[in-house]
């Protein structure tokens, strides 16, 4: 097959390159990530479901893909059991990888997953276009194909259902430890690892599980990250609203942050191009401390309409958007960024410590 491929955006822009993954046409929302490393974790992050990912760092693939190790029953360092993106766009792909833990190339990994990728693209120009015009749909296809995009058939509830693991999974820490119900909207594996590492047992349930009818004896609720628009999940929002009546501790991350905000009576909105990187600066409005965080989201909580009893906890330094809310009296808290990192800095992991302390005090 011809190796000349292209990325076509819905506004008609065309970016040409060469295919280095599976030679398969794919359509999805085109988003960009400004991180310098971490493509293995990012590509397996369920929050990228339904999206074509553009990596702005100019050299990708140089450290390959590591061997899979099982830690606490989960594959490491991968953030799910499969690749989640619909396609990958890079400036320069390096096929000759070099790393002590690597056992295959990025191209091999993508080809095994039947996912397309193109290299040789002006990702700087592409990113500037997405920043100025906002994220938009696009398709990766051979250079001689028609530029017309098919109709969009994805919705957020469908995407979350694709990445939420069915059934109930138990991850046990020490005997007698506190237990959380983790609502899996596409939970990254490092959320489970981070909780187990702090002596908290985790019961992971499907996002549509009725944890109000049966909380499985948990001491609190944890709302995970995931893809898409939170307003497309009304049943989950209503269940969280009912769970708040129990007064038990609740922590939300990313999509879980937005779900908590909506359940408590707040509002969410679509960001022009979202935050996707491992270098997003935020400020704790309580202490004034600054942190560098890992982020991956396209929606945010509206800070001008915070739920009753909640206050703004964290703020994004770059654009002033909300990065966290917290209740003034109840043990309810959430953040838009990823304290579990992977990829990215781990300095906000102290939030897990604080929430675990709240669990023990309860």
Helices (H) and strands (E) in the chain, counts: 8, 23
Please list the residues that pair with 89 across neighbouring strands.
Answer: 54, 118
Are the beta carbons of 126 and 136 closer than 8 angstroms?
no
User: Greatest CA separation found in the chain?
Assistant: 63
Contacts with 214 (C-beta within 8 Å, 6 or more apart), sequence order: none
CA 91/CA 126 separation, integer angstroms: 10
CB atoms within 10 A of CB 165: 16
CA 310/CA 328 separation, integer angstroms: 6
CA 361/CA 357 separation, integer angstroms: 6
The half-sphere exposure of 332 on its side-chain side, counting CA atoms within 13 A, is 27
The half-sphere exposure of 288 on its side-chain side, counting CA atoms within 13 A, is 0
**Active-site residues: which are they?**
254, 338, 340
> Taking the C-alpha atoms of 154, 136, 4 and 41 in order, what is their torsion angle to the nearest 10 degrees?
-70
Query: How are the residues of the chain apportioned to helix, strand and coil, as percentages rounded to the nearest 5?
Result: 25, 35, 45
CB atoms within 10 A of CB 106: 26
CA 43/CA 46 separation, integer angstroms: 8
Please list the residues that pair with 293 across neighbouring strands.
Answer: 280
Q: What is the CA radius of gyration of the chain?
A: 20
């Amino acid at each position: 097959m011809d190796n000349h491929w292209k990325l076509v955006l819905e506004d008609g822009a065309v970016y040409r390159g060469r295919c280095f993954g599976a030679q398969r046409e794919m359509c999805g929302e085109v988003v960009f990530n400004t991180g310098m490393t971490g493509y293995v974790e990012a590509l397996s992050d369920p929050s990228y479901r339904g999206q074509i990912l553009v990596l702005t760092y100019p050299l990708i693939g140089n450290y390959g893909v590591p061997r899979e190790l099982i830690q606490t029953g989960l594959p490491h360092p991968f953030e799910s059991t499969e690749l989640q993106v619909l396609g990958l766009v890079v400036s320069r792909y390096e096929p000759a990888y070099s790393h002590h833990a690597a056992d295959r190339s990025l191209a091999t990994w993508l080809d095994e997953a039947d996912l397309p990728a193109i290299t040789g693209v002006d990702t700087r120009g592409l990113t500037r276009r997405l920043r100025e015009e906002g994220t938009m749909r696009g398709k990766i296809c051979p250079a001689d194909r028609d530029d017309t995009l098919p109709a969009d058939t994805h919705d957020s509830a469908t995407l979350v259902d694709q990445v939420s693991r069915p059934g109930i999974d138990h991850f046990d820490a020490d005997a007698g430890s506190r237990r959380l119900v983790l609502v899996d909207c596409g939970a990254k594996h490092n959320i489970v690892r981070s909780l187990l590492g702090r002596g908290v047992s985790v019961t992971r349930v499907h996002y549509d599980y009725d944890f109000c009818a049966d909380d499985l004896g948990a001491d609190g609720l944890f709302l995970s990250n995931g893809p898409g628009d939170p307003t497309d999940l009304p049943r989950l929002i209503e269940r969280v609203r009912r769970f708040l009546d129990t007064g038990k501790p609740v922590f939300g991350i990313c999509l879980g942050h937005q779900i908590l905000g909506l359940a408590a009576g707040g509002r969410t909105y679509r960001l022009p191009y979202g935050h996707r990187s491992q270098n997003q600066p935020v400020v704790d409005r309580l202490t004034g401390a600054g942190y560098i965080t890992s982020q991956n989201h396209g929606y945010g909580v509206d800070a001008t309409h915070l739920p009753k009893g909640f206050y703004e906890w964290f703020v994004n330094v770059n654009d002033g958007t909300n990065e966290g809310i917290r209740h003034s009296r109840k043990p309810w808290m959430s953040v838009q960024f990823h304290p579990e990192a992977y990829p990215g800095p781990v300095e906000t992991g102290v939030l897990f410590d604080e929430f675990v302390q709240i669990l023990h005090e309860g």
